[in-house]
Chain A
């Protein structure tokens, strides 16, 4: 328990194991002693929250799988069986269902935090790319998982999304049949989706390990966006950030519990409580809320193939971000112009989400197209130009400097938190 980076123990048994398998040293290094910048704000809680959300999704999902049956004639009924007959089945399903939404809220905030504080900039490009991989895997898991209850939205959502691949020239139609294992969504689709829905989260866990590995290579970015100069700029992860993460988790779970117990279906769509009917499409198909901005981009392009390309491109462009944003300054605190464009991007994505839930006609179509246009302009034109024309504000010399300005002697004060630890 200290600034000491090496692991010490008085237990001979633990020392014996650790000598042969240094797992205790590993945990100590990455969860206890890991030196984190001393100035992390609450925006840095969302990585830990995302990890915990993933664990909750896997835990509840494994239990749901114990009573779920992945066949078209039983899937809907087995979900209702879980809801009505299995003890606490309603609770575990509502946790799983709503945590999917909360997981996306957390991850989107995590991504926007990275955008604002320049966490994708050198030397953290691979860390950022791994994050994009996690996002894509999450989206695939969420879409596939939404198919499993076999309601109307499940069925028609799966139909529409698999049909996206038919836009691919030459092989599109064959590819769709291959994805579905048939000419329409059916029994083979459902069972392969279930198998993949069980698999993908564990692949996400693997990529998360890589993500944290890459993070700990250079350490966390921080709100000032400058590198830590020495030990006076850092505090050990435990207890400083374990406690801060625990507090954030408490707030997060309180809000989450309020939704699970008082508005469990608020974020869902009532049509998905109607069993899948292959002969009737619901009058108004919308994806889950977390896909709405992408759905809006898809629909704002009048060409089928280009719409699909734009939708996937909206994520691919994020992966190119470390090379599009040429500004050497990480934190937007010191980028007077980027601050406004960043705010505009946030509004733009919210507008896209709103448009995604509206029918694609009239004024909605116009707004959707303008919002789509700005989304791509922001990344492909604004960011590269800002790097050239923006004059950044002066940045502090070190992380400790702004904290200590005006108080205490620079020699004595910086070490104080470390003594505490």
Chain B
């Protein structure tokens, strides 16, 4: 390339043609790179979720039919959310444990809006399976909360990880009480 540039450069003096040709190469190369990046962006962004998907959808859940000790599963943004009506014993067991004993220490009070209602995303923080334990007939694990059948993670009655490979507690989605029998998730 260098030889060709020298021979064909046509610059005023020796070296002049060389640097002028180099400048042209760099300038057009840089312009080309900017052009490619500009055109690539629409294609990359095309694959992102659209605004319709991103819009924070919210669902309202009627909780009047959930007996103490039971939980239901609702869909929110394409993932399951557990809404659990906790018994006195469950609340007691969640609050009596020392924070130092937890792999992901968060106090039970910080995870609930109303003491007897626990709302958590029903997706295991290990590899994304749905843990069992909403009804009392399903295995609830060693701590009375949920048990993930895929790789054996045990969650307690506050949805916190206690044992197994999962690294974090079940996330608490944003939620609020519209009235005593309706929760708005999202």
Footprint of B on A, CB under 8 Å? 1, 59, 63, 66, 81, 85-89, 91-92, 239, 419-421
CB-nearest residue of chain A to B2: A1
Interface residues of B (CB under 8 A from A): 1, 4, 7-8, 42-43, 45-48, 50-52
**Residues of chain A lying within 8 A (CB to CB) of residue B52:** 85
B residues near A421, Cβ cutoff 8 Å:
4
What are the residues of chain B within 8 A of A1 when measuring CB–CB? 1, 4
Q: How far is the CB of B90 from the nearest CB of chain A, in Å?
A: 43
CB distance from B178 to the nearest CB of A (A): 29
A87→B4 contact, CB < 8 A: no
Do A91 and B7 form a contact, CB below 8 Å, given A85-B51, A85-B52?
no
A420 to B8, CA, bound (A): 6
Q: How far is the CA of A81 from the CA of B46 in the complex (A)?
A: 12
Residue of B nearest to A67 (CB): B46
Q: How far is the CA of A92 from the CA of B47 in the complex (A)?
A: 12
In the bound complex, do residue A87 and residue B7 qualify as a contact, i.e. CB atoms below 8 Å apart? no
* A87 and B48 in contact, given A63-B43, A92-B43 (Cβ under 8 angstroms): yes
Shortest CB distance A36–B (Å): 17
Given A1-B1, A85-B51, A85-B52, do A420 and B46 touch, yes or no (CB 8 Å)? no
Whether the pair A86, B46 counts as a contact (CB closer than 8 A) is yes
Q: Are B50 and A87 in contact (CB under 8 A)?
A: yes
Per the bound structure, the CA–CA distance linking A91 and B41 in Å amounts to 11
Instruction: Check A87–B42 contact: CB distance below 8 A.
Output: yes
A419 to B42, CA, bound (A): 43
Q: Are A63 and B46 in contact (CB under 8 A)?
A: yes
Of all chain A residues, the one with the shortest Cβ separation from B28 is A246
Give the Cβ gap from B36 to chain A, nearest Cβ, in Å: 12
B21 CB to nearest A CB, Å: 11
Cross-chain contact B1 with A66 (CB below 8 angstroms): no
Selected from B1, B7, B48, the residue in CB contact (under 8 A) with A419 is: B7
Determine whether the beta carbon of B1 is less than 8 Å from that of A88.
Answer: no
Cα distance, A1 to B51, chains bound together (Å): 50
Question: Across the two chains, which residue of chain B brings its CB closest to A56?
Answer: B39
Question: Can you list 20 pairs linking A and B with CB atoms under 8 Å apart?
Answer: A1-B1, A1-B4, A63-B43, A63-B46, A63-B47, A81-B50, A85-B52, A86-B46, A87-B45, A87-B48, A87-B50, A88-B42, A88-B43, A88-B45, A88-B46, A89-B46, A91-B42, A92-B42, A92-B43, A420-B7
Which residues of chain B have C-beta atoms less than 8 A from A420's C-beta? Answer: 4, 7-8
Contacting residues, chain B, for A81 (C-beta < 8 A): 50
> Which residues of the other chain, B, contact A91 by a CB distance below 8 angstroms?
42
Query: In the complex, what residues of A have CB within 8 A of residue B50's CB?
Result: 81, 85-87
Top-3 shortest CB links A-B: A88-B42, A87-B45, A85-B50
